[in-house]
Structure 1
Amino acid sequence: MRLHLLHLYHRLRTSGIDAGDSDELRMQKRLLALLGGLFSIAAGVWLLTYWLTGTDLPAFIPLLAQCVIALNMLAYAQWRNFVLYRNILISTLLIFPCIAQWALGDFVTASGLILWGMLAPITALLCLGMRESAPWFVAYLILVVLTGVADYLLPGVGLTQATISREVGVLFFTLNFATLSAVVFQCLRFSARERSRAQHLLEQAHAKLANEQARSERLLLNILPAPIADRLRASDDTIVDGCPEAVVMFADIVNFTGMASDLPPVEIFRILNHVFSKFDDLVEATGLEKIKTIGDAYMVAGGLSEAPGDSCAAMAELALEMRRWISEDATAAERGLQLRIGICCGPVVAGVVGRRKFIYDLWGDAVNLASRISSECPPGLIQCDSRTFAKLKYRFIFEDPVTLRLKGKGMVSVWRLLARGNDPAPEAPRYTTVDIDFSRLD
């Protein structure tokens, strides 16, 4: 029995709800269906109780109210005019308690039935809002005042001549007040629960939005440096910067193209992802910027921002660490992987190209020279241009320079970086004055 009642209650609450309805509209429809059902039940209980007490009262008023509510719901189910359905239901809640009071006579005889009309402005407040519910409340007050004036000017006048004892009157005063209070409390409780549920869903949506925003932020920072990402979010202007003293490195995997021709695509991806993921960790630890990967080449740059630190020395440290790791890694050793690395210092232009699927890239002579130095580098070595050597020669160990013929550059001297240097940079020579006694010389 309890399950059947719960099922009926659920069907009453969800009647007339469409799949495309908003959360607010769903709440209004559930509330109106609940109120219509509770009002019809209250009207039946009111009439049954009067009959059981032996009071001869007209039955057509509560029956008419029940019929109007039922026909209104059927009309809504047929034509889906929710505004008309809502207005008819609120009007029914407002008018029929007044008609029932007038039919019985005065406030005392009717046990304050007109108070049920308060459901109309309450329903309007919950469904329409504060401003739209004000006319309904004013209409309710007008009906109450008119009823009071009629009771004062025409005492004992009503559609029926029912006589109700004091005991029955007190019983129905108590019943009306208790029932009406229960209905109002149930409506407010329903509204509070629905709004709490909507608030919970809104908080979940906000949390999901925050997670998606954080995820998008991480993806954006994986594509662009943080300062560039901030500028891109703040403005749609073209982003281009001149960097007068940048350092650029290209690291190529030796003979990877030939090796990849004998491997399935999945294996090629696995090897590159393994190597470049480690390089990403190393770059992040040094504070440099990964620019992009081009096939089996890995491009890194430093000195693109005003962040403190020696980006040229950090690039040399990174190159040595990359070479050390790939010589010790089991996967790289299994495939015999080696690197050829080229490092160059100089002015570059950095910016974001395009509007869709954009990329942060570098242009300039230093970029071209670093790429050519790496492509002409013997396997396992690190080659630097003259400007890089000039900045690092007191802190790192280099081989004597070699001269390369580079396409578009002619003859270029490069230095091969061997290891970190432990000796500090030499100080400038100090000069002292010495007094010599020439008389004692032979």
Structure 2
Amino acid sequence: MPPTSRLRRFVDYLLSFGSYEGESPDQKGRRRIIVGALWVSILPIALAAVLSSGTWLVVAGAIQTSAHFAALILLRLMPHRFAVIINLVFAVDIASDVGDSILLGGLFDSGLAVVWSLIGVLGSLVALSIRAAVVWFGVFVAAVGVTLAAPSIVDPIYELSDPQTDGAIAIVGMTLLVFAVMAYFVRQRNLFQQQSDTLLNNVLPSEIAERLKRDSGMIAEQLNSVSVLFADVVDFTPMSSAMSPTQLVGLLDRVFSDIDGFVEELGLEKIKTVGDEYMVAAGVPTPRSDHAEVVAELALRIRDHFAAGSVNGHRIEFRIGINSGPVVAGIIGRRKFAYDLWGDVVNTASRMESQGVAGEIQITGSTFGLISDRFLCKPRGTIDVKGKGEQETWLLRGRL
């Protein structure tokens, strides 16, 4: 195993302290930040204690170091006590910083040592909650007040050689920590926004998703030139009756994922799936002059793709119907909203599928008039379309 891999595994092991089954990715990220900070802080605190010139300063540093190490051990043993353990560490750190400040002569003569107590505020904001951070901020303000008043109550025991430099280091260090925490939350916000946008774009057309983010009002529009396709798996009910739930969902996932790929390649808009039926449209939400042609191309790809082989050991055959014309498009629902199409064109397209022929693509006269110069179509004759009466239809056979 390469050294870098061993090092990565070792670091992952150290950061795994406090992990537990069922931990969410967000909780895991926050916990790893705090656990990493505890590991990293042990050496600097220990060195500062060893290099201190006063016995009580050494004792305070030793207490902090021991508290951090003990917290890591406890997190390993009792991961579900994360909040309690971290709060105890913050309490020890603030008490130690206040003690150091008093021993060194107060807020300024100690080189702003108490400023390091802000770590507890930032840590609780990252790993615990806003309420916990507010509480610790109140404790921090009280700690600053104590160290500010200390010189008038208690005489200093020790003296720093250069409190201004130590104060500058404290300010720069805490500024870096604040920046790091802000960067973390901005990154998390951007990540969650990206995930939200991706989810929204998977549910709605991208143009509609953008409109919905800008305006939560009703979205409805009339689109005059649209082609709608319905595709249904032939004899799916008897086929599915012999399948387990896993096999059934796995089969539909394979079938619809293949169609999704064709839809994406052709720039069409998937509207929905209902059971084993797939609905797609072209010319929505953005109009396009070739809407009938690209839907016809999709239908041929679906037919030919599944005719060429089996899916999970099953022969899949589709019955497909297409119609073209004006539709109404919009979003319905408030919680589980959906982008859908309505109108006579949609109903007739559905009838073209349901009253179609297995393995064939049945189209209406309106669609035929738009694609007849580029696609081979065979007249089927006049059929009685439910709810519409007698209509002349064609079977789409191929490309010219």
**1:191 Cα offset (Å):** 3.8
Supply the distance in 1 between the matched residues of 2:214 and 2:342 (Cα, whole angstroms).
Answer: 24
Relative distance call for 1:292 and 1:282 in structure 2 (3 A) is same
Q: Is the contact between residue 13 and residue 31 of structure 1 (CA under 8 Å) also seen in structure 2? A: no
Supply the distance in 1 between the matched residues of 2:62 and 2:299 (Cα, whole angstroms).
Answer: 71
Aligned residues: 301
Give CA deviations for 1:228-272 in whole Å, capped at 9, x if unaligned: 111110112100011111110000000111111111111000000
Q: Is the contact between residue 64 and residue 93 of structure 2 (CA under 8 Å) also seen in structure 1? A: no
Partner SS state of residue 379, structure 2: coil
Partner of 2:117: none
Structure 1 gaps of 5+ residues are 44-79, 101-112, 117-175, 422-442
| 1:61-210 → structure 2 map (5 Å cutoff) | 82=139, 85-93=143-151, 179-181=160-162, 183-210=163-190
**1:284 Cα offset (Å):** 0.8
Partner of 1:388: 367
Partner AA of 1:212 in structure 2: F
Choose from 402, 410, 415 the match for 2:394. 415
Q: Percent identity?
A: 32
Supply the distance in 2 between the matched residues of 1:13 and 1:340 (Cα, whole angstroms).
Answer: 68
Relative distance call for 1:261 and 1:13 in structure 2 (3 A) is closer
Choose from 320, 339, 352 the match for 1:360. 339
Supply the distance in 2 between the matched residues of 1:417 and 1:84 (Cα, whole angstroms).
Answer: 80
Partner of 2:235: 255
**1:194 Cα offset (Å):** 3.1
**1:187 Cα offset (Å):** 4.0
Choose from 99, 103, 113 the match for 1:40. 103
Partner of 1:246: 226
Q: Is the contact between residue 350 and residue 360 of structure 1 (CA under 8 Å) also seen in structure 2? A: yes
Choose from 299, 312, 321 the match for 2:279. 299
Structure 2 gaps of 5+ residues are 1-45, 51-57, 70-81, 107-135
Q: Is the contact between residue 310 and residue 316 of structure 2 (CA under 8 Å) also seen in structure 1? A: no
Choose from 315, 318, 321 the match for 1:336. 315
**1:33 Cα offset (Å):** 3.9
Partner of 2:256: 276
**1:351 Cα offset (Å):** 0.5
Partner SS state of residue 283, structure 1: helix
Q: Is the contact between residue 31 and residue 191 of structure 1 (CA under 8 Å) also seen in structure 2? A: no
Q: Is the contact between residue 101 and residue 147 of structure 2 (CA under 8 Å) also seen in structure 1? A: no
C-alpha RMSD of the superposition: 3.4
Partner SS state of residue 400, structure 1: strand
Give CA deviations for 1:206-244 in whole Å, capped at 9, x if unaligned: 212212211111111111111111111011210001111
TM-score of the pair, normalised by structure 2: 0.67
**1:329 Cα offset (Å):** 3.5
Relative distance call for 1:191 and 1:31 in structure 2 (3 A) is farther
Q: Is the contact between residue 13 and residue 33 of structure 1 (CA under 8 Å) also seen in structure 2? A: no
